Amino acid sequence: MLELAGIEKRFGPTPALQGIDLSFLPRETVALLGASGCGKSTLLRVALGLLVPDRGRVTLDGAPMDARSAPLLRRRFGYVIQDGGLFPHLDARGNVSLMARHLGWEARRIETRLRELTELTRFPSDALERYPAQLSGGQRQRVALMRALALDPEVLLLDEPLGSLDPLVRAELQQDLRRVFRALGKTVLLVTHDVAEAGFFADRIVLLRDGRVVQQGRLDDLLNAPADEYVTRFVRAQRPLVGDPAP
Amino acid sequence: MRLGSRRIGCAVALALGLAGTAHAQPAPRARPRVVVGSKTFTESVILGEIAAALARDAGAEVVHRAGLGGTRVLWDALVAGQIDLYPEYTGTLEYEILAGEGVHGMAALRQALAARGLRMGPPLGFEDGYALGMKAETARRLGIRSISDLRSHRELRFGFTNEFMDRSDGWPALRARYRLPQREVRGLDHDLAYRGLDAGTLDATDLYSTDADIRYYHLTVLQDDLHHFPVYQAVYLYREELAERTPAVIDALEPLAGRIDADAMRTMNARAKLDRVPEAQVAADFLRRELGVADHSIREDRAARLWRYTREHLALVAVSLGVAIALALPLGVVAARRPRLGGLILAVTGILQTIPSLALLVLMIPLLGIGAPPAIAALFLYSLLPIVRNTHAGLRGIPESLRESAEALGLPPRARLLRVELPLASPAILAGVKTAAVINVGTATLGALIGAGGYGQPILTGIRLDDVGLLLEGAVPAALLALLVQAGFAVLERAVVPKGLRLGREE
Summarize pLDDT for A14-41 with one digit per residue, the tens: 888 998 899 999 999 999 998 888 888 8
DSSP per-residue letters across A151-174: T--SEEEEESTTTTS-HHHHHHHH
All residues of chain A having their beta carbon less than 8 Å from the beta carbon of residue B405 are 79, 81, 85-87
Contact check, Cβ <8 Å, B409/A147: yes
Residue of A nearest to B501 (CA): A89
Helix or strand or coil: residue A23?
Answer: strand
Contact check, Cβ <8 Å, A102/B404: no
From the list A77, A89, A134, which residue is nearest B498 (CB)? A89
Chains A–B, number of C-beta pairs less than 8 Å apart: 77
Q: Counting beta carbons within 10 angstroms of the beta carbon of residue B99, is it exposed (0 to 12), middle (13 to 18) or buried (19 or more)?
A: middle
Closest by CA position to B386, among listed B344, B340, B433: B433
State the Cα torsion B19-B25-B26-B31 to the nearest 10°. Answer: 130
Over residues A45-49, the mean pLDDT reads 91
All residues of chain A having their beta carbon less than 8 Å from the beta carbon of residue B501 are 88-89
- Each residue's pLDDT expressed in tens, for chain B with a length of 507 residues: 333 344 444 443 333 333 333 344 444 456 788 999 999 888 999 999 999 999 998 888 998 988 888 888 899 899 988 899 999 999 889 888 888 888 888 899 999 999 999 999 999 998 888 889 999 999 999 999 999 999 999 999 999 988 888 877 789 889 999 999 998 888 888 878 888 898 888 999 998 888 877 878 888 889 888 888 888 899 999 999 999 998 999 999 999 999 998 888 988 998 988 888 889 999 999 999 988 887 766 667 788 889 989 999 999 999 999 999 999 999 999 999 998 999 999 999 888 888 888 888 888 887 887 788 889 999 999 999 999 999 999 999 999 889 999 999 989 889 999 999 999 999 999 999 999 999 999 999 988 888 788 999 889 888 877 788 889 999 999 999 999 999 999 899 888 888 888 875 544
Contact check, Cβ <8 Å, A74/B503: no
Closest by CA position to B434, among listed B391, B394, B486: B486
Chain A: residues touching B (Cβ < 8 Å)? 45, 48, 50, 70-75, 77, 79, 81, 83, 85-91, 98-99, 102, 131-134, 147
From the list B412, B415, B420, which residue is nearest A87 (CB)? B420
B503 in A contact zone (CB under 8 Å): yes
Distance from CA of B324 to the nearest CA of A (A): 26
Residue-level pLDDT at B30: 65
Helix or strand or coil: residue B167?
Answer: coil
User: Please, are residues B349 and B385 in contact by the beta-carbon 8 Å criterion?
Assistant: yes
Contact check, Cβ <8 Å, B424/A88: yes
Q: Which residue has the higher pLDDT, A1 or B116?
A: B116
Interface test with A, best of B398, B402, B405 (most A CBs within 10 A): B405
B420 in A contact zone (CB under 8 Å): yes
B327 in A contact zone (CB under 8 Å): no
Distance from CA of A75 to the nearest CA of B (A): 5
Residue-level pLDDT at B3: 37
Contact check, Cβ <8 Å, A81/B415: no
- Those residues whose C-beta lies under 8 Å from the C-beta of residue B3, and which sit 6 or more positions away, are none
* Mean per-residue pLDDT of chain A: 89
Distance from CA of B436 to the nearest CA of A (A): 25
* 3-state helix, strand and coil shares in percent for chain A, rounded to the nearest 5: 40, 25, 35
B465 in A contact zone (CB under 8 Å): no
Q: Of the ranges A106-120, A207-221, B200-214, B286-300, which is most confident? A: A106-120
Residue of B nearest to A44 (CA): B408
Contact check, Cβ <8 Å, B410/A99: yes
Distance from CA of A163 to the nearest CA of B (A): 15
Beta bridge partners of A187: A155
B495 in A contact zone (CB under 8 Å): no
Residue-level pLDDT at B6: 40
B424 in A contact zone (CB under 8 Å): yes
Closest by CA position to B493, among listed B428, B427, B432, B436: B427
Tell me the C-alpha distance between B282 and B270, whole Å.
10
